[in-house]
Structure 1
Amino acid sequence: MKNIIKKVLSAALAASLALSLAACSGGNNAAGSVSSSGSAGSASQTGDGKEYKVGIVKFMDHASLDQIESKVQQELDAKSAELGVNFNYADYTFNGQGDSTTLNQIAAQLVDDGVDVVVPIATSAAQVMQSVVTEKGIPIIFAAVSDPVTAKLVNSMDAPGGNITGVSDALNTDMIFDMMVAVNPDIQKVGLLYSKSEDSSKKPIEEAKAYLDAHNIAYVEKTGTNTDEVSSAVDSLIGEKVEAIFTPTDNTVMSAELAIFEKLNDAKIPHYTGADSFALNGAFFGYGVDYDDLGAKTADMVADLLVNGADPATTPVVVLAHETATINTETCQAIGLDLDDVKAAFATLGIGVEEITTAKSFE
């Protein structure tokens, strides 16, 4: 009966997302289908082989979230062998394709499946999962939620207070602008590009405005809720003659980056962003947490919850440190910046540089 339900759900999700799939970047997973990457962890011969059902829900396809999903799965496999249990995620991994209706259907399916924990990747996925699965007593360990307090997922970072905790990719917005100013001390106008529909963007955009106001730098805001709207927003920012553009950890813009970076290159406008995956997809610059580390830490928290009985209500949200700026060397050259000069500017702030070239996804 369960297999029949899954088939019906997959068909329903595929039909409901026929239009939205075109707006998502890349990805091989059909909405609502089991992920093709990874497999259920194999139990150690020395353990009791107890199976735990781990639901993994990725908000949409793009390089950052794909990277996190893959690392969570790899670490769960490692923990399965280490602890002598079976973290079965392969039967319970879903892709929400950026659609709230689909995410709600997935949440209902995971409840029906009786999973032991849900791992939503990104703020929007976490919010939908919280609204459905926590009512059934299923705990949540989220990944890549930039501001879980503002998103109303937890009461505080130190004491979440509910059946939910996880790992945050909170952004050091001021440092990004310090680096922007270090590269161009005379900058006069900055574009702010983001989606109003994403809670993860609200706080860093407020921080960006405060920074720019304090430094007497003008700014222009443009938003979009899909790739076409983001592309139009970029056209407007180019027309406004901004000298640089800032985007936080915004999934909507991230999914559109491959469609907009060449426009920005032609206009000689550097795009400063909140994750290295933006730079992988053509943006000039990315700065934020290491998503491999984030995925591994998320999986470790899942293991601690399920095997050791850790209480989400008293388990602090983990915030990883920011260490490295990622520069797309092809884009750096295309917009007329000298890589050595950029490195020297960042060095004055104690920031190292990791070099990358444009690709669709991480290897």
Structure 2
Amino acid sequence: MVCLVLVAVLLLLAVVALGVGSAGYSLQQIIQALFYDERGPVRVVVYNLRLPRLIMAVEVGACLAVAGALLQAVMRNPLADPGIIGVSAGAATAATTILLLFPTLVSSVPLFAFGGAALACVLIYLLAWRDGIDTVRIILSGVAINTVLGAYNSFLQLLNSDNLSSVLSFMNGSLSGRSWDHVYIITVYAFIGLVLGVCCIKNANILQLGDEMAQSLGVNVTFVRIFLSAVAAFLAAATVAEAGMIGFVGLVVPHIARMMVGSDYKALLPVSMLLGAVILLAADTLGRTLIPGMEIPVGIVMAVTGGPFFLYMLRKKGKVSGS
């Protein structure tokens, strides 16, 4: 039932996203442009500009939400998120390096972004390893990696201050100017990553039982953690490469999904996937329509709305625990 409601909300938001903007269109005009009129001006705006952006928002939101949910299972910590533990920073560092130092390789940004995310994961696990992997050490190592890579990115931008237009858009997280070519690329990555994420449902549920219980069930906890982290890194890298740095989706969405359906990943992961798509599409639509004549990048909208909401959830949880 929750999934059906989210699908209905997503379809409604899709109609709104296609219709609103500098030029507003009715539902009839949208249907006419998508299915009948192949050359009119409405077709150009709706089909060539707004529809690719809509699909990008849906897929990026779903990927980030699933990545966050998987990392929270790996860490057994609700604060785990691709942006917080350094996975997104690894992808962003690789992509920024290519954009600023090797612009001729811009078509290979997704590949390098995944390599950066994977390398960040490896470093995090190496730093956290001490007679086994402790989830607290993983998070602390991730925060340290995130800080170091953030300093490197700032230094790189300082050295290339005359060529930051593309990088600033990337660091703020934006879906502006996305075309069907971007949609084709992110669809391939999203399909692979989300299918792998669904295959991780059983192991994610087992990790929630604790290491000792999981080992008693015959599960190789270290291998499962590494595999789930690799899937999350793949999803995060794909979104970073195509949409830039967008925070708080992987952090907040799984929390809301748990409030809706509980902690069983059989329900949590599909709901997170749909809810992530809904929230990011709503944020992107809000960002491009809130101020007439000006577009706010979706990464900024998510930071402004997601941060306070997460603080509210923390305070609410603290009050419940205290009572």
TM over 0.5: no
More strand by share: 1
TM-score (ref. length: structure 2): 0.31
